[in-house]
Structure 1
Amino acid sequence: MKPLRIRLRRTCVAAAAASVLIAPVTAGAAYGAPAPPRSAPYAAPSPDPDGEFARLTPAVAEKLDAAVRQTMRETKVPGVIVGLWAPGKGSYVRAFGVADQATGARMKPGLSMRIGSETKTFTVTALLRLVDRGKVALDDPIGKYVAGVPNGDSITLRQLAGMRSGLYNYSEDPDFDKALQTRAEQPFTPEQLLAYSFKHPVQFAPGERFEYSNTNLILVGLVLEKVTGRPLREIITQEVLKPAELRHTLFPRGAEFPEPHAQGYTVQPASGEVVDATDWNPSWAWAAGAMVSTLEDLRSWARTLATGTLLEPATQAERLKTTPIGIPGAGYGLGIFDVEGWIGHNGSIPGYESLTVYLPQARAAMVVLLNTDVLKDGKEPSAFFGEALTSIVTPAHVYPAEHPAAPSTR
């Protein structure tokens, strides 16, 4: 069983500075994030009825600062951007460390970052919007749209979005890994990615259990293109980013990366050499992990995603039906997880990690963005930050870091 710390791939990185850029704690929303559309079908609970979220006073902010600095020392993360927001409790927005090790440029809250597997939340949302319009059905077999898929007549779109297809994860294939190492800045096609998966036998019968596989989302992306007749980048832009008013989030055509952005650092496994992965072409992750975003856009997206703003209530209810994933207090729905009440997703791609989650009881959002994807004792560094922050602000809903990351793809 693959645990929660789900990754596109796994790398290491050298230690870096942990200096801090301080941003003020305010009594309300910070940095002017765009509000989600007001037509949400979601009926939110009363704000923080049971003291679910600590008031973000200067004293609490000092504790959070100390916790982030300590976590940076332990994980050796070069730079991190952190945001916490809850109505009536204030906000906490900080950027710590360096965005560029070569120049020493400081990390800043407004930088663009690659978000890896958080892309899945956008891809599946686009699919569910087609479900709402009757263009596809969750229980349609993938074989209806894409030929040549093993068990294609039995695997449903629901099982793909929920990681229960049984298809081999292409990003764990040794030949794929070798190809990525030799052509990191070159494009991959979805068909090439599927070929790495389909040469392996299926891992289990469709629907039998949860097993995270990036192959599932490549197929969902192809379904979106087949049904709409449009490229995936355009679909996500028109169906998700524009309705959600996310002006600084994009699905890149290639390796483009809006300025200003942080440099991302990873390690080549064969040599152990620290390398700058900023300009690696994310096409190899495509519908599973290619996107770029910012702290403020992800703050807005956390609520939109968790509350179903862009979907019909019944469709959002289907999305939030989770399958146990072998971790107490955690389950996976349709391109979304619920971990100790925090709803959202994490992401990891060479050079970057992210965590975007929402706690409905407190109407609280948490976003963490890192410019490295090094593991700490086999665990995701983003999860260490999630645990450190939630231990202070939501002790009844601590995001756990104790479980190991998924096995290395290298």
Structure 2
Amino acid sequence: MIACLVFPSLAGCGAGHAGSTEALADVDGDHGGGLGGSPGSGSGAGTGAGAVGCDGLAVKLQAALDAAIDAQRLPGAAAAVDLGGCSFRGAAGMADIETKTPVKPGDLFRAGSITKTFISTLVLMLRAEGGLSLEDGVSRYVKGVPGGEQITIRQILNHTSGLFNYTESHDFLSAAEADPTRVWTPEELIAFSAAEAPYFEPGRDFEYSNTNYIVAGLIVEAVSGKPVVELLHTRILEPAGLVHTYLDGAEPAVPGLVRGYGSYDGELVDTTSAVDPSSAWTSGGLVSNTEDLTTFYVRLLDGGLLGPAELAEMTSGVGALSADAREYGLGLARRSSPVGTTYGHGGSIWGFVSASYYAVERGAGIAVLINHEDGDAKRIVDDLSRILKMP
């Protein structure tokens, strides 16, 4: 059970245990979101959605979100859609089942591996300034990485390093179960990976590994001489106006985190505090909301954070992450959707699932956050995308 509580993306976690009907019987939508010229305003301003109008589109998007949490039997979810002059901020279900507190559009969720895009962006910023080369061996900056002389920073960012995924280590999972409140250092997490054989020689294949982005976080700190959380704020969060995002376990929390859940033996279990957030750090420790995530990916892919050369590096894919992801670049997945090719990332961490993508040619940004680790956020992204595709 602890393996599923810690990182539910592991094979076999929770998929066979549906939440009880009774536990979810009181779940209904909080329709406090809106779609208009300003986020959440509910006004009809803006013409980016076409003939249907912003208000009409908001109704359809909210209905799709309501239907999705019913179909997946989720406690709750929040979603954001930006399209032209229209901005939808919606929510459905419960932020806390025990207190029957509804999810609000601006509520905070654990974002999981969406963190990886933020960290890759920092690395590419340092590269643009000449602080590092993507072809540098990681041992130049981080000690204790097996084969670090042969593994390049590029291979860390695009998951071709071959490093064993520490979240699949039985020793790590046993230690987390023994002491859920334990605060982890990045070096300790890398050591769990180093104790296992690599998947393959560097550059020979593609294998997603959270260890890569723990190493990436240490590289950022080694090159900059500053804590990664400081650079997140000064280089990304503050310039992009992301005031609801923080790296959990590395800085004070921002109020507003909803409760996260898993389903075990037909019952909902609150897994919000199952493991200390330091266990995810720069591989998946961000907390955010749909407003911030949509803004981040739009800003990033429109060239507001990186120059053309770095953005080209980031969007150049090397391998398939899953059946629905065509390619994985440097902390960024290229994925097909009903509104065309999108770039972004998904995430899965105890109690939460996330997905945020931007269709560059369509100019459509979509983010979905779920407070149940068995939820399918990408499926809801597609549900909302189909609404945008309608005439």
- Do the aligned residues in 2 keep the contact of 1:56 with 1:91 (CA within 8 Å)? no
Deviations 1:253-305 (A, max 9, x none): 3585422221111256xx88643222342110111011111222112102122
The alignment partner of 1:347 has SS state of strand
Cα 1:395–1:286 change in 2 (3 A) is farther
Give the match for residue 271 of structure 2: 277
- What secondary structure does 1:292 align onto? strand
Aligned counterparts of 2:183 and 2:266: Cα–Cα separation in 1: 24
Evaluate the alpha carbon distance shift between residue 250 and residue 141 of structure 1 in structure 2; reply closer, same or farther with a 3 A threshold. Answer: same
Q: 1:354 & 1:54 partners in 2: Cα distance?
A: 30
Check the 8 A contact 1:246/1:297 in 2, yes or no: yes
Deviation at 1:145, TM superposition (A): 1.2
- Quick one: which of 15, 19, 41 aligns to 1:14? 19
Distance (whole Å) between structure 1 residues aligned to residue 366 and residue 52 of structure 2: 14
Residue 371 of structure 2 is matched in structure 1 by 371
For each residue in 1:325-364, what CA deviation from the matched residue of structure 2 results, as whole angstroms up to 9, or x when unmatched? 0636621110011101111111111111111111111221
Residue in 1 that maps onto 2:210: 214
For residues 314 and 30 of structure 2, the distance between their equivalents in structure 1, rounded to whole angstroms, comes to 38
Contact kept, 8 Å, 1:114 with 1:291, in 2: the verdict is yes
Which of 295, 301, 323 lines up with 1:306 in the alignment? 301
> Retained in 2: the 8 A contact 1:54–1:394?
no
Whichever residue aligns with residue 67 of structure 1, its letter is A
The answer to whether the Cα contact below 8 Å between 1:351 and 1:373 also exists between their aligned partners in 2 is: yes
Q: Which has the higher contact order (CA 8 A, sep 6+)?
A: 1
CA contact (8 A) 1:64 1:389 kept: yes
Return the match for 2:382 from 372, 381, 387.
Answer: 387
Displacement of 1:307 in angstroms is 2.5
The answer (yes or no) to whether the contact 1:113–1:352 under 8 Å persists in 2 is: yes
Letter in 2 for 1:104: K
Displacement of 1:172 in angstroms is 0.8
Q: Contact 1:337/1:343 (CA < 8 Å) preserved in 2? A: yes
Q: Is the 8 A contact 1:210 1:324 kept in 2?
A: yes
1:74 and 1:56 map into 2 onto residues whose CA distance is: 27
CA offset digits 1:203-247 (Å, max 9, x no partner): 112122221000000111111111222222122222221222212
Measured after TM superposition, the shift of residue 56 of structure 1 is 5.2
Q: Quick one: distance in 1 between partners of 2:56 and 2:277?
A: 41
Q: Answer yes or no: is the 8 Å Cα contact 2:33–2:40 preserved in 1.
A: no
Q: Which residue of 1 aligns with 2:190?
A: 194
Residue identity matched to 1:262: V
**Taking structure 1 as reference, are residues 292 and 54 closer, same or farther at Cα in structure 2, changes over 3 Å only?**
farther
Aligned to 2:125: 129
Q: CA RMSD in A?
A: 2.5
Distance in 2 (alpha carbons) for counterparts of 1:190 and 1:67: 40
| Correspondence 1:258 to 2:267 | no
1:56, 1:92 within 8 Å by CA — same for their partners in 2? Answer: no
Match of 2:151? 155
Matched, 1:327 2:323: yes
3-state SS, counterpart of residue 309 of structure 1: coil
Tell me if 1:75 matches 2:51. Answer: no
| TM-superposed deviation, 1:19 | 0.6
Alpha-carbon distance in structure 1 between the residues aligned to 2:93 and 2:247: 27
Residue 87 (str. 1) matches residue 84 (str. 2): yes
1:58 positional shift: 4.5
Gaps of 5+ in 2: 1-6, 42-46
Question: Partners in 2 of 1:257 and 1:318 — Cα distance?
Answer: 33
> Residues 173 and 197 of structure 1 are in contact (CA less than 8 Å); yes or no, is this contact kept in structure 2?
yes
CA apart distance, 1:190: 0.8
Counterpart residue type for residue 270 of structure 2: D
Q: Secondary structure at the match of 1:362?
A: coil
In the alignment, which residue of structure 2 is the partner of 1:44?
none
Partner of residue 63, structure 2: 66
Question: In the superposition, relative to structure 1, how do residues 390 and 252 fare at CA in structure 2: closer, same or farther (>3 Å)?
Answer: same
1:59 Cα deviation from its structure 2 partner: 4.5
How does the TM-score come out when normalised to structure 1? 0.82
Q: For 1:334-345, what aligned pairs fall within 5 Å after superposition?
A: 334-340=330-336, 341-345=341-345
Change (3 A) 1:92 1:243: closer
Report sequence identity in percent: 34
Q: Does structure 2 conserve the Cα–Cα contact (< 8 Å) formed by 1:139 and 1:156?
A: yes
Aligned residues between the structures: 365
Residue pair 1:233, 1:253 contacting (<8 A) in 2 also: no
Amino acid at match of 1:276: D
Give the drift of 1:147: 2.4
Q: Displacement, 1:21?
A: 1.4
Q: Secondary structure at the match of 1:136?
A: coil
2:39 to 30, 52, 57: 30
Amino acid at match of 2:72: T
Q: Is the CA contact (8 Å cut-off) linking 2:128 and 2:310 kept in structure 1?
A: yes
Cα distance in 2, alignment partners of residues 316 and 120 from structure 1: 15
Paired residue secondary structure (1:263)? coil
Deviation for aligned residue 1:68: 2.2
Does the CA contact (< 8 Å) of 2:249 and 2:277 recur in 1? no
Matched letter for residue 84 of structure 1: V
- Show the counterpart of 2:4: none
Q: 1:278 to 1:63 in 2, by over 3 A?
A: same
Checking the alignment, whether the CA contact within 8 Å between 2:332 and 2:343 is kept in structure 1 is yes
Q: CA separation in 2, counterparts of 1:184 and 1:24?
A: 36
1:357 alignment counterpart: 357
